[in-house]
Structure 1
Amino acid sequence: MAALIKDKLDSISEGCFLIMPNKKRRNTSQQQLRKKQRSKTKTTVDVTQRCEENSQGISNIGFQKLFNGNESFDSMLYRKSSFEQCWKNINDDISNILLDMNETAVENICQFVYKSRNIEEGMVALPYHEIPTGLVFAGINTPDHNTQFSHIASKLREDSKAGKQKNFVSLLQSKDCGNIKNMFKAMIERFLENTPNALSTDLDHDIIMDDNEENDDDAEDEEDIIRTTERAATSYRLGGASARPSKCLPYDMKLLEGWYRHHQQSYENKPNLVIILQDFESFEPAILQDFFTICSEYRSRLPIVCIMGIATSTEILHQSLNKSTIGLLRIEKFRLEQSGVWFNRVIEKVLLDSTSTLKFGARPYKFLLDHFYLYDFSMTKVTASLKYALMHHFYGNPLSIFLPLLQMDEFDMTATLQQWVRNDFINEHHITHIRMLGSFKNYVESLADTDPKKALQLLEDDDFLITEVVPSLLCDIKIYQEQFKMGFNLLLLLQKQFPSFSSVNKSKLMLLLEVLEAKDGLSENTDMVRRLVSFVRKIDTEHVGRLLKELRHLFSEYENVNGSFLKQLAVWDKRYEGLMEADDNYNTRMDRKSKLLEGMVLENEQRRHTETAKKVQDQALEHLKQKGTEASKIAMDIADWCDKTLGHLLRSFTKLPLFELVYYTNIKLHEKSFASQPRASAQTALTQPQHYINCSCCDIEKSDQIVTSEHDTCILYKLYLECGRLINLYDWFVAFGCIIEREKRPANQKLEENEVQARFIRSVAELQFLGFIKPTQRKTDHVIRLTWSNI
């Protein structure tokens, strides 16, 4: 019997044959079947044609007519164009700041690429080929590296067009390099994109098509790519030989070598092949080791240069690569500027220097600072936050049409507004909204006592309001912005005069926040101004001359704003020159007298807070002004002048009429969009589920009311809120079962204990997944208790 079975098996094995597919055939029957199956799985979507009214909002990037559709179409288009122009200006400033900030570092990287070959020729020949590698420290926020390394790649390509040595650049990211095959494939594709007449005509198209197919068809993909390469490779000569077909796969380095040999003939100097690994920490170490090993083998034939972006430190290099792989790299370090430098310059450019864009109030500005310094140091989020503020202002505020008027002078503003009134560009709804502004109401109330006729005219005469008052008020806002910038720089100048007083000195951004948060602006009652002024009173003769020189340099830039400042400085300069020309013995004698008075008057100035002490202090200051030296008198005058000037220049913008047209003070939408609170949303959903599931049977009056028709997780969560910090698991289960028993069920369906237990366990797991509870082992009562999570 065993022999019989053995004979049958032998006969079967003799009848088995392996039939190889014919390579010359385009498609086998199995391949055709796969393509039919894939074509059947493709879903077709019927796109309905929209009418012109429905597509109007989409065609205008979401801009719609406000005032319930009563806004004119031209006004809506003007808001759209104003938003695009304003954002273009801000975005250009942001990009230029980033380029200027890293200009030196990027130039050094380009010089490293150009000199890599010269350095290699002057070195001793090694048995292995080193790859010139630049380590670029780009900061801890990796999402921002995309912009920074795109600028580096663009700079390398621009230098090639400018007549310098040609560079072929391939920018790689870890998401495109899941394995070594995909990494070389992506690298070669990026290099082929550098030349319009390269193989990419037919090859890239088929490569992209192959990426969408299934991964289990590797044999079919390779066969199709080989045939595609055979067609495309006939367009160039490989190494001077006659045109011949190539069967290289798209991830084969021989394909890159042949392409490079063909295109290097067009240049006097051999172009460099620059490979940029944008996020080095995210690559798989094994893939990087194989990649550098293979590139090192081709280094003698291909001038490969590698640039790697690192977010942390060089330790990650030793953690990812072994010693043999690191030995293949000739490393040089570069460092880009940190994002904090970029943030400082952007805030200064957008919120201080510019007078024709949207300004931030105290709360939005504080939100911007907190989320940058306390969360992620992200340049991308700062840019998105600025754009979101502009979108909120122009999309939803019909009065945003007045913001671009700040770029004009008062005469052009008046002419533009008159034209708007004639063309019905502005209607009665715009005028009503202007009169409803809080700052305009305060302005009218202030005129009620001094000029009641003008106040009444503002409320009744529309043309007078739009064509005469609005241009004047907008020009006042422009003047205020210039004065605010001048006062802020004066505050910085005074702070730099006293570097030893570290408790006073603050960064520029924090100083701006303090100024914006002051409700009545900076005045003599402000602690910071009071301390700075007291320090100015104590400066000696040498520091008086230095301070006058810096003040003269500062206000020479703002002569058009207020020329009286320079006149006052000229008076002090003459007094100081007379002081320097006086007799030395007289100066010495008066200095001793001045120091004695200062010790009596200014020693404990900060410790006196009673009314009597302040009165005595003021009298002592007046005595010092009369009996002190000329230097101390000048210092006293400068201190009093700084006190009054800072109070005037740094007054609060909320005192300006129509400041709502220029200043962005809404913070609620920013908090919802950029500081989401998923835990609070989950709590609201669990206590008020009717707002989320739109269920009429679950409508409740109070959030703590429990209805049997609610979701099991909601019931369990409300039961937990009735308990303390610790709850017995069994008691929780019993309370849950008592509520479930009151459900309305058919007579033939009874509630079983296993069903209650299963629903209870599932709801507990959901609460634990949301992070509201966590199990804690406690020996008391031999039960597991659940405690509130501190997440």
Structure 2
Amino acid sequence: MTSILDLDDPNKGSVYIPPQDNVQDLEPSTSTPTLRDIPGGQELRLEIFKSIWEKYIHRVNSVLRELYAPVVTSVLSHIYESHTSEQSLPGIPYPELPVISLSAPGGGAQILANILDAFKPARKESRTRGGRIKGKGRMVEPENELKPSVRVAHLHPADCVNLTAAMKAIITGFVDTHPMEDDESDEDDLLPKATKRKPSTSLANYDINMLRAWYLSLEDPLGEKMRLVVVVHNFEQLDSNVMQDVFYICSQYVSVIPLIFLLVTSSPASSSVLYSTYPRSTLSLMCISTVSAPSGPSMIEQILAKLFFSVDYEPEVMIGPATLEFLADFCIRHTSSVDASLDVLQLALMKHFQEPFTVFVKDALLGTKTLGQAAKILQTPESFDFLDSLLTRLWAVHSSPENPFSDLKVDWRSPTVSSLLSCVSLAHTIAQERARNLRLGLSVMRLVTRYMQAQGYRVSGIVDGKDGYGLDIMCNIIRGRYSKDLKYLALMVK
């Protein structure tokens, strides 16, 4: 047996604790519990879960693009306006290295993906010299002018073990890029193509002169300077001594190589890693621009509000108050990361689809084309437990004071399987209609609240006038605890 002295010994890195004798006598149970499920129910629920989750992710991505649009626009403007005569400060002894510090706690991957997508050419009609569209003879408006082409290289913490590895990652990230001969958006062949480096070159792949020679070999027919953007991922994790040397070397060639550093950090902008880690001698070489992305619990509130409480989107599965309360506590106690919150939401949805009745989330067809085919599935002996539970659930709803099945001619003393499926379809329609009315009523209350706030009234309760709703407010709405706030708002309107 392991003694207590072994556990307290600081010289031992690990301690072996043998299992107890009674543990060896226990054998794993090979029997599986009987579930009230239909044949192939697990596979059907898994397919429904995947389709619903894909729709959720598509909706969340569209919401994130909308929320991150000002941040992406700001970063792109800094990139396109750098290395121009308008941005050059007169009187400085040397050109400064453009550095953009992007503070994105919990959402850097999505913002970075949107920025990189903006670099891809999207227009098939490119302008030529003289400001005309080639083949059309139309003048190009200033706001529609073709942006300077941008090449991107990525720098990760694993690439910065030393200065040689860091410079090699930056230089090869540009030089070894694949040519864009198959770019359909560049039909006029105006964008510069990457050149293939000969193996017999005399310059090392970590020498910045190779990057200089590669850049000078590219001729832009539009006379625009091509931007070379170095995206530094997880900037806090990089060795500061290595990055100081990288910044110094790149600043010496900034007049001939239009380099731009995009530093992606997960720390708030108020505690910038640049100013707290790097000395003034390094900071004096840079022209630093700080961009902050929205984050925190308010970000999660806006995503959930537009996912479950928006009038222009109807979710197939509504979130429950228990999940909202857990998300609120999770964002406060642990992290308000978008990815972590989506993981919690995905786990809650997976737990929801463990219930066999979730095969009726979309419709009552059970993966078939008609109710008759679905009824044949429920008439098999393997589905009797499922059918018995379904009858019990529907009988309880039928016996309630608010009977939603009064319009259906169902003989509840001996109901048929087809009539039960018709009741399920009607219940599904009623639930979707009530959820739709709830979202519509909440949007009307929000508009009224904003109007009353604009008139100088003090309004508190369901809607706070911001872009999202509080997580605790969402819980009260789902639980139906909003009558007090509704009466107060109605009195103000009167």
Tell me whether 1:137 sits opposite 2:137 in the alignment.
no
2:39 counterpart letter in structure 1: S
Find the counterpart in structure 2 of residue 277 from structure 1: 232
Tell me whether 1:399 sits opposite 2:353 in the alignment.
no
Show CA shifts across 1:502-533 (max 9, x none): 66565422322222344xx544xxx4445445
Find the counterpart in structure 2 of residue 318 from structure 1: 275
The CA distance in 2 between the partners of 1:308 and 1:491, in whole Å, is 42
Choose from 398, 401, 407 the match for 1:444.
Answer: 398
**Alignment CA distance shift 1:309-1:268 (3 Å):** same
The CA distance in 2 between the partners of 1:83 and 1:178, in whole Å, is 43
Tell me whether 1:386 sits opposite 2:353 in the alignment.
no
2:276 counterpart letter in structure 1: Q
Q: Is the 8 A contact 2:391 2:420 kept in 1?
A: no
The CA distance in 1 between the partners of 2:299 and 2:417, in whole Å, is 45
Find the counterpart in structure 1 of residue 420 from structure 2: 466
Tell me whether 1:168 sits opposite 2:135 in the alignment.
no
Q: Is the 8 A contact 1:160 1:166 kept in 2?
A: no
Choose from 277, 281, 284 the match for 1:327.
Answer: 284
The CA distance in 1 between the partners of 2:73 and 2:174, in whole Å, is 22
Q: Is the 8 A contact 1:414 1:468 kept in 2?
A: no
Q: Is the 8 A contact 1:180 1:290 kept in 2?
A: yes
1:346 counterpart letter in structure 2: I
| 1:316 CA drift (Å) | 3.5
Find the counterpart in structure 1 of residue 308 from structure 2: 351
Considering only aligned residues, what root-mean-square deviation do their CA atoms show, in Å? Answer: 4.0
Partner of 2:59, secondary structure, is helix
Choose from 308, 323, 327 the match for 1:368.
Answer: 327
| 1:131 CA drift (Å) | 1.0
Show CA shifts across 1:182-226 (max 9, x none): 32233234335642489xxxxxxxxxxxxxxxxxxxxxxxxxxxx
TM-score with structure 1 setting the length: 0.47
Find the counterpart in structure 2 of residue 103 from structure 1: 69
1:278 counterpart letter in structure 2: H
The CA distance in 2 between the partners of 1:486 and 1:167, in whole Å, is 44
Find the counterpart in structure 1 of residue 141 from structure 2: none
1:296 counterpart letter in structure 2: S
Find the counterpart in structure 2 of residue 435 from structure 1: 391
Q: Is the 8 A contact 2:449 2:459 kept in 1?
A: no
**Alignment CA distance shift 1:355-1:314 (3 Å):** closer
**Alignment CA distance shift 1:106-1:322 (3 Å):** same
Q: Whose relative contact order is higher, 1 or 2, with alpha carbons under 8 Å and at least 6 apart?
A: 2
The CA distance in 2 between the partners of 1:448 and 1:405, in whole Å, is 23
Partner of 2:231, secondary structure, is strand
Q: Is the 8 A contact 2:324 2:475 kept in 1?
A: yes
Find the counterpart in structure 1 of residue 80 from structure 2: 114
| 1:368 CA drift (Å) | 1.3
Q: Which runs of 5+ in 2 are unaligned?
A: 1-31, 127-145, 182-194
| 1:493 CA drift (Å) | 4.7
Tell me whether 1:89 sits opposite 2:55 in the alignment.
yes
The CA distance in 1 between the partners of 2:252 and 2:217, in whole Å, is 20
The CA distance in 1 between the partners of 2:402 and 2:71, in whole Å, is 61
Show CA shifts across 1:100-156 (max 9, x none): 112122123212212212237865485533111223232xx3x43233223323322
How do 1:176-191 and structure 2 match up within 5 A? 176-191=159-174
Find the counterpart in structure 1 of residue 375 from structure 2: 421
Show CA shifts across 1:317-358 (max 9, x none): 222222221121122232322344532332122222343421
TM-score with structure 2 setting the length: 0.71
**Alignment CA distance shift 1:363-1:76 (3 Å):** closer
**Alignment CA distance shift 1:465-1:158 (3 Å):** farther
Show CA shifts across 1:286-314 (max 9, x none): 22211110111221331101122342326
Q: Is the 8 A contact 1:153 1:171 kept in 2?
A: no
**Alignment CA distance shift 1:71-1:319 (3 Å):** same
**Alignment CA distance shift 1:430-1:294 (3 Å):** same
Show CA shifts across 1:592-621 (max 9, x none): xxxxxxxxxxxxxxxxxxxxxxxxxxxxxx
| 1:434 CA drift (Å) | 2.1
1:103 counterpart letter in structure 2: A
Q: Is the 8 A contact 2:378 2:417 kept in 1?
A: no
**Alignment CA distance shift 1:85-1:266 (3 Å):** farther
Which structure has the highest helix share of the two? 1
**Alignment CA distance shift 1:380-1:500 (3 Å):** same
How do 1:534-545 and structure 2 match up within 5 A? 535-536=491-492
How do 1:300-699 and structure 2 match up within 5 A? 300-310=255-265, 311-312=267-268, 313=270, 316-353=273-310, 354-394=313-353, 396-405=354-363, 416-422=370-376, 427-437=383-393, 440-446=394-400, 457-458=411-412, 460-493=414-447, 495-496=449-450, 497=452, 500-501=457-458, 504=461, 507=464, 508-509=469-470, 510-518=472-480, 522-523=482-483, 527-533=484-490, 535-536=491-492, 547=493, 635=494
| 1:236 CA drift (Å) | 4.4
**Overall identity of the aligned pairs, in %:** 19
Q: Which runs of 5+ in 1 are unaligned?
A: 1-64, 199-234, 238-242, 537-546, 548-634, 636-791
Partner of 1:119, secondary structure, is coil
**Alignment CA distance shift 1:304-1:120 (3 Å):** farther
The CA distance in 1 between the partners of 2:229 and 2:407, in whole Å, is 74
| 1:422 CA drift (Å) | 4.4
Partner of 2:399, secondary structure, is helix
The CA distance in 2 between the partners of 1:121 and 1:500, in whole Å, is 46
Show CA shifts across 1:360-380 (max 9, x none): 221111111221234311111
Q: Is the 8 A contact 1:98 1:342 kept in 2?
A: no
Count of residue pairs the alignment pairs up: 416
Find the counterpart in structure 1 of residue 21 from structure 2: none
The CA distance in 2 between the partners of 1:450 and 1:110, in whole Å, is 55
Q: Is the 8 A contact 2:107 2:337 kept in 1?
A: yes
Tell me whether 1:250 sits opposite 2:233 in the alignment.
no
Q: Is the 8 A contact 1:170 1:276 kept in 2?
A: yes
| Bigger CA radius of gyration | 1
Q: Is the 8 A contact 1:447 1:454 kept in 2?
A: no
Q: Is the 8 A contact 2:230 2:261 kept in 1?
A: yes
